[in-house]
Structure 1
Amino acid sequence: MPGHIDLHTHSSVSDGTQTPTQLIRAAAAVGIGTVALTDHDSTAGWQEAAAAVRGTGMTLVPGIELSAQLDYASVHVLGYLFDPGDADLISETARIRAERLSRAEAMVQRIAADYALAWEDVLAQTVPGATVGRPHIADALVAKGHVPTRSAAFESILHWKGGYYRPHYAPEPVDAVRLIAAAGGVPVIAHAGARGPAGLLNDRRMRVLVDAGLFGLEVYHRDNPPAARKRLLEMAMRFGLAVTGSSDYHGVGKVNALAENTTEPEVLEALLARGTGSDPVHG
């Protein structure tokens, strides 16, 4: 499996701007050999991505980015090679998506009191079956001319201090790790050095996550500053965890570029050996 290894990307099934097919084509164009599709709380893009990867020479690692909440911060858990038919995981992701939807509707109602914005404007920025969330509200705000970019929306109107924010349900990280592991999957904490989770993932909590089945930490990510990367590397060594690197690519939804951070081949080999719930797709 030659080529770059990028284990964190998003399609329009969640908050990316490309379909799974377009994502696979973009990954092939920049020389990626192995790509993981990790849409938020959804596996709906797996089948299309699997079909798109055939004949490319690439490998697709089916995955997800499961929303979790620790104290006041979002701590997302990447899951790879789990059984998409696992009843407990299906139930939890359905609940998360439903909560995201009701939260998004409530936020739009609040925003509409001050800006010309309707729920239909948000739906116009999604594809059928997509997990609707703040990124789609941001895209609607851009389309209506209220902000210039998605990032600008998150820095102003959609910021948690902006007055329109609403929280939504998400399990604790340890429960997300257990769910993925119980479904035969491989759990990795995403961008663990980002503002928010960085100060919460101490050794005590990390031990609980490891005991629950945690496989690794996503260290090489643009949201992890150098000091956080150093701390995460030390933590990974103490707890015997794998270290991954990924782009967290969203198409034009974020500045993140495919393969801007990558994972080492030996880590990928260990991940593929550990996952038992589903198989990688070789193109």
Structure 2
Amino acid sequence: MTDACCWTCIASALSWSRPPATSRLTPPEPRYHGVLRIDLHTHTDQSDGTSAPDELVRQALAVPLGALAITDHDTFAGYEQAAPVAREAGLELVRGIELSTRLSLAGRHGRAPTAHLLGYFVQGEPSAEFRAWLQGQGKNRDRRNVALIAKLRSLGVDITLEEVKQVGRNQTGRPHFASVLVRKGYALNHRQAYDFYLADEARAAVEREQVPVGEGLRRLREAGAVPVLAHPIRMPFGPADERLIDLLGHLKEQGLEGLECQHSEHSAEDVAAFQSLARKLDLKETGGSDFHGGNKPDIDLGTGRNGNVHVAYEQLEALRTPR
């Protein structure tokens, strides 16, 4: 073999060829080190994100992502508005939901910690009964918002529910309160607004009525969803704590099927620890950025915080595989 022929073979093997031109209905194949990339945890402006549903689809194509789950809080409105746009664009869209529930821990006093559950409807559509129940959860949020305004005003904060609703538009929650507090100079940024006023233990904290985690798991399973525990780093026990293993085992007995191992708040060590727990407890591994657009500007769609999220398509396939 001649030197010229040899170099031709090497160049052919190593070169990257540009994919053929595609129509606007066919997104480029999104790969991370050769692995198809997806995002299973995102929010639109129908809950506490800032991207309109059709805008989120365009952002997913730009990453690019092979599949996108919209997991708005207590509503399917974002998914349903995005679905026709995603279908036309050739983007695989997954119907999801995020529920806020309360943990009841033996020996713990004071406010019960929150557990967020993600539900993925990978095998069918949610029932009318589940949709009606979600509307009730929205009313709980509305009552909390009224009480939160009263608490803030008692602390000398000049704020009205009307101006917060103008920010939230579709569903008003704490991120929208944070935006108003920042705009009016009561906090430098969203994080400070939470730390000073809005977090569970902050000065203006108002406990929202939330269902027990067991009921949340039951509701999701009865509705046909795959229940997953979101961002487990927020649990009251760390990934190396035996109490977390016991808690996850208890939740699995109540219907938990998956653990969000990859998340923007997880370090590489956290991811490895949660993956180990998922394998130990036979829970499905999932992951997502928890993208909120401008409400969490340091988190990028599909890649998380500083590129710490890279979820493979195989995780979506695993969600679709019945136990």
Task: Name the residue aligned to 2:320.
Answer: 272
Over the matched positions of the two proteins, sequence identity in percent amounts to: 32
Change (3 A) 1:11 1:173: same
Aligned length: 272
1:48-197 matched pairs, under 5 angstroms:
48-71=81-104, 72-81=112-121, 83-87=125-129, 89-113=130-154, 114-127=156-169, 130-194=170-234, 196=236
Partner letter of residue 285 of structure 2? Answer: V
Bigger-Rg structure (1/2): 2
Distance 1:31 1:93, change over 3 A: same
Matched with 1:257 is 300
SS at match of 1:15: coil
CA displacement at 1:23 relative to structure 2 = 1.1
Describe the shift of the 1:145–1:231 C-alpha distance in structure 2 as closer, same or farther (beyond 3 A).
Answer: same
Which residue pairs with 2:263 in the alignment?
221
2:157 alignment partner AA: Y
**What is residue 5 of structure 1 aligned with on the other side?**
38
Deviation at 1:271, TM superposition (A): 1.4
Structure 2, unaligned runs of 5 or more:
1-26, 31-36, 105-111, 304-308
Helix, strand or coil at the partner of 1:8? coil
Instruction: Check conservation: 1:34, 1:60, Cα contact below 8 A.
Output: yes
Shift of 1:106: 0.8
- Deviation track 1:31-71 (CA, whole Å, cap 9, x = no partner) reads 01100000011112222110221222210001001111113
In the superposition, relative to structure 1, how do residues 203 and 91 fare at CA in structure 2: closer, same or farther (>3 Å)?
Answer: farther
Structure 1 segment 23-42 matched on structure 2, within 5 A: 23-42=56-75
SS in 2 for 1:138: helix
Tell me, yes or no, if the aligned pair for 1:66 and 1:77 is still in contact at 8 Å: yes
> Contact 1:73/1:197 (CA < 8 Å) preserved in 2?
no
**1:70-116 CA distance string (max 9 Å, x none):** 132111010011633341x2343223211111111111112123111
For residues 149-185 of structure 1, what are the alpha-carbon distances to aligned partners after superposition, in whole Å with 9 as ceiling and x for unaligned? Answer: 2222112222333321101111222221221111111
Alignment partners' CA distance in 2, 1:159 and 1:243? 28
Residue type of the alignment partner of 2:217: V
Consecutive unaligned residues of structure 1, counting only runs of 5 or more, are 276-283
Contact map agreement 1:244 1:263 (CA 8 A) in 2:
yes
* Deviating more after overlay: 167-176 vs 118-127: 167-176
| Residue 278 (structure 1) aligns with | none
Cα distance in 2 between the residues matched to 1:209 and 1:268: 21
Amino acid at match of 2:41: H
Cα distance in 2 between the residues matched to 1:200 and 1:42: 34
Would you say the 8 A contact 1:193–1:219 is kept in 2? no
- What letter corresponds to residue 255 of structure 2 in structure 1? G
Q: Secondary structure at the match of 1:32?
A: coil
SS at match of 1:258: coil
Match of 1:239 among 281, 285, 303: 281
Secondary structure at the counterpart of residue 108 of structure 1? helix
Aligned partners of 1:8 and 1:37 also within 8 Å: yes
1:219-277 alpha-carbon deviations (Å, 9 max, x no partner): 111223455434322221112111112100000100211112232222211213449xx
Let me know the Cα RMSD of the aligned residues. 2.2
Q: 1:54 to 1:247 in 2, by over 3 A?
A: same
Secondary structure of 1:60's aligned partner: strand
